[in-house]
Structure 1
């Protein structure tokens, strides 16, 4: 596990206790206030808005914006709602989660490996999950790589991956679930795999990379016993391009009618593409360097030099040359470690 993931888990308690759903009303806002009217679809379904002064709100906001990487500066977190419903169905679902957590812990030598993970979707889909649980394993989006047939969740430090699966609602907002997930003993699932259940009784869930996990896969048989939605994060970006990591290119000046002879790509788009081939630690270094450049702490030549050192010229040239023709596929480039 990377240091960033460890930091997130250290800040947000992972203890499964009886007060996780009920008893948090004092830390939350008034669900009947005028400010919450635009989120009534959540409050009507057992969610209560966290006040900005709440410590959990501050931690989640910091981790969310950090996980948005290069898009973090253009993203505005609007609200966080917490699952504190005490209705019978929600309580039963939480009790089931605790029972399975204990069972997996017993099977795995005392550690159920419970983690937080993001799940992005449309507002309607997330509300259906909150009320009825997961009902299907969603097909991966065109820009997503499939790792088996199951519910795909995103590591806490890669919130922007979850944002790619979100959808803009009628108010221009996007939404993601922050869930607790019982991972148990994980096994590596290859990209494009059609696996839909554990490979053996010893295994519980799938993951794209055991050492640096980015995507978790919970098989359909376990999707409502091993996943419990705890928070809904609502956010807004200036445009869909910011969330997708591809920003509009700058139009050339009228006086300069000649076109560049070498391939080009905007830097956010380059990072978005490189994320398909590089492991999380290297992507975090690139994001950090880009943030330093945006803050004017390093120059453009310094940024380019750092990226070349991190990525390597061979892969970098291949990505840049193939970007505009869309001819580059994950299988055609060797993933570096």
Structure 2
């Protein structure tokens, strides 16, 4: 786009460490909601794994490995295993086994089953554990590749780490929750970005991916969500500091802007995971700014509304090489809305 040329750049600063946990914000004992949460898990056949248990260590190691450079900022609080000992749990396990066998027959001996991560709010996670998946939707972050249940491969990190972790909303205890599921993919078809597809295009296909050779997203259609997805483990964790924007246990402390990024570089990175309609909108507002139709203040406000503060901070964190000190013309991006 012409308006985003190298010679036509706006720069902005963003505070890297705007939010810190208050010294008295972390309770030494779990709150009642936290106790209720674990009781609900136990009632539904979820068994808490002990640290140093072989399965616990394998899951924790794989989870942190996927966090890449953020692993040191993540604390795994608990890992639960789905024992499938309840009546409903046994039915789900048997149903999954039957569909897996059927898919193997259909696909010549390989059901193409994988492990994948699913993140959401604590309430939805609890509903899934208790009753199964109930809704399909567009992803909360990144491009839309159809209407279904979005899961993320265990071997992705970097930018797509955002999609995986941001899908796990922080609860009242400052925790995020992700299910490690076994997923029957069968024959996959590529779904284009921006698609509103909600079912296979024909009987040959069984699930969707964003890329056939190196998928970053698995899309399971609504008709298959409770037959082709089996939650195996639940990881509860505290996320990286730059994701603390929605925590009720956080207070803002004064800090100075520490780094800057050129608008051109910021736009290029954001366009990799924002929906095309959002990048077009950002480009439009930038063009208006270049033509003096809107002020810098309005441009920043619109950028934050469209991309979101959490995504902007994450981009700054994920791409430190794009951060450059650039002269005097800069836009301050404060924490609170202007």
Q: What band does the TM-score fall into relative to the shorter chain?
A: 0.5 to 0.7
Greater displacement, 124-133 / 43-52? 43-52
Secondary structure of 1:158 counterpart: coil
**Alignment map for 1:185-264 (pairs within 5 Å):** 185-237=187-239, 239=241, 241=243, 251-252=256-257, 263=262
> Which residue of 2 is the match for residue 170 of structure 1?
172
Compute the RMSD of aligned alpha carbons: 3.6
Give the drift of 1:263: 2.0
Q: What corresponds to 1:100 in structure 2?
A: 99
- Deviations along 1:26-71, whole A, 9 cap, x unmatched? xxxxxxxxxx946223223220011111212111111111212232
Choose the corresponding residue for 1:276, options 267, 273, 289. 273
Q: Note closer, same or farther for the CA distance 1:112–1:249 as it changes in structure 2 (3 Å cut).
A: farther
CA contact (8 A) 2:142 2:273 kept: no
Do structure 1's residue 78 and structure 2's residue 77 form an aligned pair?
A: yes
How many equivalent pairs are there?
241
**For residue 30 of structure 1, what is the aligned residue in structure 2?**
none
Secondary structure, counterpart of 1:170 in structure 2: coil
TM-superposed deviation, 1:275: 5.6
Q: What is the CA-CA distance between 1:274 and the residue it aligns to?
A: 7.5
Unaligned 5+ segments in structure 1 are 1-35, 254-258, 278-293, 295-299, 308-315, 318-323, 327-337
Q: How does 1:1-337 map to 2 (within 5 A)?
A: 37=35, 39-141=38-140, 143-158=141-156, 160=161, 161-237=163-239, 239=241, 241=243, 251-252=256-257, 263=262, 273=270, 276=273, 304=321
User: What does the per-residue CA deviation read over 1:147-205, in whole Å, with 9 as the maximum and x for residues that have no partner?
Assistant: 11111111112373321111111211110111000000111000111111111111110
Deviations 1:194-237 (A, max 9, x none): 11111111111000011111100011110100001011000002
Q: Which residue of 2 aligns with 1:12?
A: none
TM-score by length of 2: 0.63
Structure 2: distance between partners of 1:123 and 1:117? 18
Whether the aligned pair in 2 keeps the contact of 1:147 and 1:217 (CA below 8 Å) is: yes
Maintained 8 Å contact 1:122/1:167: yes
- Partners of 1:45 and 1:127 within 8 A in 2: no
TM-score by length of 1: 0.63
| Structure 2: tracts of 5 or more residues without a match | 1-33, 247-252, 275-317, 325-330, 334-338
Task: Quote the Cα distance in structure 2 between the aligned partners of 1:252 and 1:127.
Answer: 40
After superposition, the Cα gap between the structure-2 partners of 1:198 and 1:242, relative to the gap in structure 1 and judged at 3 Å, is same
Which segment drifts farther, 45-54 or 99-108? 45-54
Higher percent of residues as strand: 2
Going from structure 1 to structure 2, the CA distance change for 1:263 and 1:208 (only over 3 Å counts) comes to: same
